[in-house]
Amino acid sequence: MAALAAPTWRMGTTSLFPRLFSSTQQTRFALPFFPGVTLTIPIGIQLGLPSIPSILEGIWEGILKAVPKKKTSHMKKRHRQMAGKALKDVTSLCKCPACGETKRMHHLCPHCVSSEQLLHSLQRRKAHPADIFSLAPTPNSILSASGSSSLLVHSTTESTFPLIQTIPNAHKLGCHHVCTAKGGLGNVAASVGFGGEIKIWNKSQNKNEWALDWEIPPSGDVWAVALSENEEYLACTTSDGRIQVWDLNAKQVIQTYETGARGGGSFAMSVDLSRDGKFTASGHESGAVYVFNNDAGRMVYSLSGLAKPVRAVAFSPGCKRLAAAGNAGIIALYDMQHGEHVGNLTTPNARPAWITSLDWSDTGDYILSGSLDGKVKVWDVTRGACVATHSETEGALWSVRWLPKNERALGPGMGKGEMFCAAGASRSLTFYREATGI
């Protein structure tokens, strides 16, 4: 009641205020400093001075109401925002057949992948007489190319990884790249020799042996090659920075991408075709990574981030990400929908070694990398961290590859775990696998 009366009174008696001020001075000072004196106000009312305490009461109320209370608190806001949006429970869990721990379905078991659990399963010592420069896995075998003239094929369906075929005199000057289709049937392989010639190999179904299909004669300095998943297209790079896409059925070039003025591009050291066949990516000496759209026949992204030569590029199995690595010693990840740099995989090492080879696991969860210091690393892409490092191999690594899982798992004594193979200057093929819990 007094609170409502006070403003009206104040409006009318402004001129009276100085006089009132002097007479009520004592009480007014008492109020803020001595809370107990507030009792004097009702006393004042009882004493028959109704107007003055009610005025004081009004002022006091005004002071209390000075802070606005309309703002929604942060907590309240968060509560409202997040209502009904909490993380859903992950129900797609299963038991890891290898170690028995719970893991997500269709994902690698994190317990098995951690370094203690990965087993160095077998080494084919001195498989080649010279450095092994490249590996190419098929569903049931692995091809290896080295500085010597022949290509070797080792079976991956048996636990001893026996040599099943030697292709002699494949490349007289030695072979630096061999590739098969990732996720493909594994009936076509392509290899490039130091002389610059590309050879296409076919696996005959009845004899299960590789035989030469046809040869692209040396034209310029051909370096890296990649095959598309359907084994119909081949991408190759040259030292003057061109990328050619061949149609293997028609045996002709269907696309040529130039990355510099005629003959002046930077050396294209690596190439990859995405599994959906939509993109071609090339990594260059200058540190540039270019992505081309095969349908449109033009460059879609020019990706920066690595200033040093890029020795490996790899599309994720879902074609959503591109990984690139090289002399910088870090793995850069790019998003393929918008061409953005989305992250780096690094170790807090002072001076990382040059990375020579990259490979995505079939699920796209893990990246395998091999480097010149002989270390093979497994990276968890979602966590952005290195989950396993192996450095038993005594030589520089030139190539690391996951082995496809489907047929291999049916072989006796092979288990269901993931496997990969590493090779390089040690001239040996080293196979690693997840622990099988035996």
- Measured from the CB of residue 331, what is the shortest distance to another protein in angstroms? 18
Cβ 345 vs Cβ 305: under 8 Å: no
DSSP code, position 353: P
Closer to another protein by Cβ: residue 335 or 373: 373
Long-range contacts of 197-201 (CB under 8 A, 24+ apart): 197/171, 197/222, 198/222, 198/225, 198/234, 198/236, 199/170, 199/171, 200/234, 200/248, 201/151, 201/167
Q: Report the distance separating Cα 122 and Cα 174, nearest Å.
A: 25
Q: Report the distance separating Cα 18 and Cα 76, nearest Å.
A: 46
Closer to another protein by Cβ: residue 240 or 380: 240
- Measured from the CB of residue 150, what is the shortest distance to another protein in angstroms? 13
Query: Which of 285, 311, 432, 436 is closest to 371 using CA atoms?
Result: 311
Based on C-alpha coordinates, what's the Rg of the chain?
A: 36
Closer to another protein by Cβ: residue 147 or 384: 147
- Measured from the CB of residue 329, what is the shortest distance to another protein in angstroms? 11
- Measured from the CB of residue 334, what is the shortest distance to another protein in angstroms? 23
DSSP code, position 82: H
- Measured from the CB of residue 147, what is the shortest distance to another protein in angstroms? 5
Closer to another protein by Cβ: residue 110 or 195: 195
Interacting residue ranges for another protein, rule: CB under 8 A: 129-131, 133, 147, 172-174, 176, 194-196, 221, 239-240, 267, 269, 285, 309, 351, 353-354, 372-374, 393-398, 424-426
DSSP secondary structure, 392-432, as one string: ---S-EEEEEEEP-TTGGGSTT--SS-EEEEEETT--EEEE
- Measured from the CB of residue 394, what is the shortest distance to another protein in angstroms? 5
Biggest CA pair distance of the chain: 122
Closer to another protein by Cβ: residue 53 or 374: 374
Closer to another protein by Cβ: residue 237 or 274: 237
